[in-house]
A and B are shown apart, each in its own frame.
Chain A
C-alpha cells in the first residue's frame, strides 16, 4: 500500500511540474520537501535555489525555461509523435479519449490550459487518477478491482506514455536551462520506465 501511495504521489508531482508554469506554492514544496529534493539532485545543489527570491526565481529562471520546453521548442503531446503528419489531435478522435471516459477522467481544458488531452501532464495525471482508484479499491477490500486497475495502468503506460514520452523527455533533459527541469525530465523518464518494470513483473 505504501508503494502504491508513493507511486500515486510521484505521478501527481510529475504531472504538476510538466503541465504548467510553477507558482509559489508548488515552488515551496520543490524547495523545501526533503523527499522531493532527493529525486532532484542538481536542483537540490543549485545555489540559486536558495539565494534568489522565489518570485524572481519563477519569473526569470523557471517559468521561461518551462515556456521554452513546453511551448516554444518542444511538443509535449502524444499524437504529435505518433502520427505521420505530426498533427496534434485536438478532437474526440484522440486515442486517449476512450480510456479516459472508461475511467471517469475528465480533462478541464480551461484549468489545464492544454490544447489536447494527450499532453504529458494530463497523461501523468491520469496515471495518478488510476493509482488513486486502486488505493480506494484496496481500502475497500475489492481485490478484483484493484488488480484490474493495475492492469489498466500497465496497458496505458505501454500503449500511450511509453510510446512517445521518452522522446520528449530526452529532448527536455538536454534543452533545459535550469537544474529543476533537467532533473524533472530525468526523474520522469526513469520513473515511468521503472514503473513499467514493476507493473510488467506483476502482469
Chain B
C-alpha cells in the first residue's frame, strides 16, 4: 500500500465519520449505552471483592471472566473487567442463575487453591503467603454464598416500582 492509498483511506474515513457522526447517531454517551444501565445492588460489592486480588487472593483476568460466562451459556464482550461482571449480572432475576454463575467462579477458585497448596508443599518457606491467599479465597467464597442466600427473586408480574 503506498502513501496515496493511505490518503484515500483517510479521506474516506473522514467522510464516513462526517456522515455518520455529525448527526449524533453514533453518540454513545447517552442512556443508550448498555454499560450505563443499572445493576442489581449486590454487583458493586461483588466487583469490589471478586476483582481485587487484595481481597480475593486471585486475579480474575478478562479471559477468566469470559470463560465463566461461556460456561453458563452467556455471551459477553471482552472489555473492562468490572463492566464484564456488570454485564454478566445486570439482568439477574433468579437465585438459580446466581448459584450457577458462582459455581463457575468457585471452580476457578478451587483450581487456584489446588495450585497454591501444591506450591506450599513444594516450597514450604513460602507457605504462609499461599495460606493467606487461600484464606482470602475462602472468605470470598463465603461472600458469594451470602449473596445467593440474601438474594430476593424478582417475578415477571412484580410491580416494577416495588422492586
Instruction: Report which A residues bind B (CB closer than 8 A).
Output: 73-75, 80-86, 158, 162-164, 166-168, 170-171, 175, 189, 193-194, 196-197, 199-201
Contacts and interface: CB of A to CB of B under 8 A. Distances in A.
Interface residues of B, number: 23
A143 to B, nearest CB: 24
Contacts of A170: 112, 115
B97 interface: no
A82 to B, nearest CB: 6
Contacts of B62: 73
Contacts of B64: 171
> Which 7 interchain pairs have the tightest Cβ spacing?
A200-B125, A193-B123, A81-B53, A84-B54, A197-B125, A196-B125, A167-B59
Contacts of B133: 167
Contacts of B61: 73-74, 171, 175
B123 A175 contact: no
Most buried by B among A74, A163, A170, A201: A170
A83 B54 contact: yes
Contacts of A193: 119, 122-123, 125-126
Given A84-B54, A167-B53, A170-B115, A75 B123 contact: no
Nearest to B125: A200
Given A85-B52, A164-B53, 9 more contacts: A73-B61, A73-B63, A162-B129, A166-B129, A167-B58, A194-B123, A196-B126, A197-B123, A197-B124
Contacts of A167: 53, 57-59, 133
Interface in B45-72: 51-55, 57-59, 61-64
